């Protein structure tokens, strides 16, 4: 495995390896990251993995200073996973003196994480664009757990006509259903046990919302409009009640939700009733740890036993 820490070393590695796939990370690697590398390798391209804890995507009261860093362990994971190139830039390489350009994304970046963490997606878009420019990958791989981030990156790539294909890999979960995350290691033992309620409650909500999905109202005749409007109103109210009940359940298990929403999977706009292309997003604090999760309402994941 090649290791590059400077642009000059990265350029030499790129010349030696040829076309690449990129897996951008902030380190503290786990099996979820390995699944991204495995998916990338399956396409037949050498895989570059970047490790950079990006200060621009952390707010002033967030956990940048204590974000887990263990380069030796991360490099061991990369070697075992068959990574071809580790890109390990210092902050001075990513943001050299005189750096004066940042990328502002609106659209899918405005709500949810964008509202809860002002400036977060400006930092994400800027660093990802830099990583794409530095490594010039043919493909880049992201995990579905950070669903909003994926949509922000896709919007940026489309709008700026960047020559990279964005691929997503399903969320990898622990046996009890908790989405794998570098921040899970911050959970105290009792918090880790209770954390499994987050995906369990989300699964139950998904099942309830799926039961509300029926035929497309646009296919109904004009004579049925009054009945359809009444049905729509009832479904909208049922969706609100289901979301509110799930929110209350989260609080009952010790979570402090920042948001729990049913959204369009691409635009990230909230929607009033479940339909094709809808997705659940949640962010909730458990103690000092902020956990994210997401599930498609259309295509449920395999459900482990409830905690």
Residue 6, pLDDT score: 98
158 shares its domain with 198: no
Q: How many domains does the chain divide into?
A: 2
CATH classification at residue 250: 3.30.1300.10
Whole-Å CA distances, 131 to 23, 52, 82 = 10, 10, 20
Specify the pLDDT at position 96.
96
Is 305 among the domain residues? no
* Residue of higher predicted confidence among 301 and 139: 139
Domain termination residue (choose one: 134, 169, 204): 169
Q: Which residue segment(s) compose the domain that 100 sits in?
A: 2-169
The pLDDT of residue 225 is 46
The enclosing domain of 72 has a CATH number of: 3.40.50.620
Catalytic residue among 33, 120, 253, 299: 33
Q: Range with the lowest mean pLDDT among 111-125, 201-215, 251-265?
A: 201-215
pLDDT at residue 242 greater than cutoff 50: yes
- Please confirm, yes or no, whether 253 is among the known catalytic residues: no
Q: Is the pLDDT of residue 18 over 90?
A: yes
32 to each of 43, 142, 226, how far by Cα in Å? 18, 10, 48
Taking the CA atoms of residue 43, residue 77, residue 294 and residue 120 in that order, the dihedral angle to the nearest 10 degrees is -100
Residue 248 in contact with residue 90, Cβ under 8 Å?
no
Asked whether residue 19 falls in the same domain as residue 76, the answer is yes
Does position 230 have pLDDT exceeding 60, yes or no?
Answer: no
pLDDT tens digits, residue range 290-302? 999 999 998 544 4
Mean pLDDT of 42-65: 92
- Prediction pTM value: 0.89
Do 21 and 158 fall within a single domain?
yes
Residues 140 and 96 in one domain: yes
Q: State whether 197 and 279 are in the same domain.
A: yes
- How many percent of the chain have pLDDT more than 90? 86
């Amino acid at each position: 495995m090649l290791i590059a820490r400077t642009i000059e070393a990265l350029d030499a590695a790129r010349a030696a390896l040829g076309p690449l796939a990129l897996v951008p990370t902030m380190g503290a690697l786990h099996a979820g990251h390995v699944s991204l590398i495995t998916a990338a390798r399956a396409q037949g391209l050498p895989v570059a993995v970047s490790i950079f804890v990006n200060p621009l995507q952390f707010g002033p009261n967030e956990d940048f200073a204590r974000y887990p860093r263990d380069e030796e362990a991360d490099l061991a994971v990369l070697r075992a996973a068959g990574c071809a190139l580790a890109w390990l830039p210092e902050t001075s390489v990513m943001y050299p003196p005189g750096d004066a350009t940042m990328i502002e994304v609106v659209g899918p970046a405005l709500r949810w994480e964008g509202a809860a963490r002002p400036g977060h997606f400006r930092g994400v878009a800027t660093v990802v664009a830099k990583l794409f420019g530095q490594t010039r990958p043919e493909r880049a791989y992201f995990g579905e757990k950070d669903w909003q981030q994926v949509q922000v990156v896709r919007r940026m790539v489309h709008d700026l006509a960047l020559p990279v294909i964005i691929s997503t890999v399903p969320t990898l979960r622990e046996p009890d259903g908790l989405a794998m995350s570098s921040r899970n290691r911050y959970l105290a033992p009792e918090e880790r046990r209770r954390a499994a309620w987050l995906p369990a409650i989300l699964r139950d909500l998904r099942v309830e919302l799926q039961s509300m999905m029926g035929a497309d109202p646009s296919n109904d005749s004009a004579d049925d409009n009054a009945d359809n409007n009444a049905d729509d109103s009832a479904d909208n109210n049922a969706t609100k009640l289901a979301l509110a009940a799930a929110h209350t359940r989260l609080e009952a298990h010790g979570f402090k939700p920042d948001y729990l929403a049913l959204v369009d999977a691409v635009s990230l706009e909230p929607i009033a009733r479940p339909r094709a292309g809808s997705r659940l997003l949640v962010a909730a604090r458990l103690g000092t740890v902020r956990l994210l999760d997401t599930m498609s309402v259309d295509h449920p994941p395999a459900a482990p036993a409830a905690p």
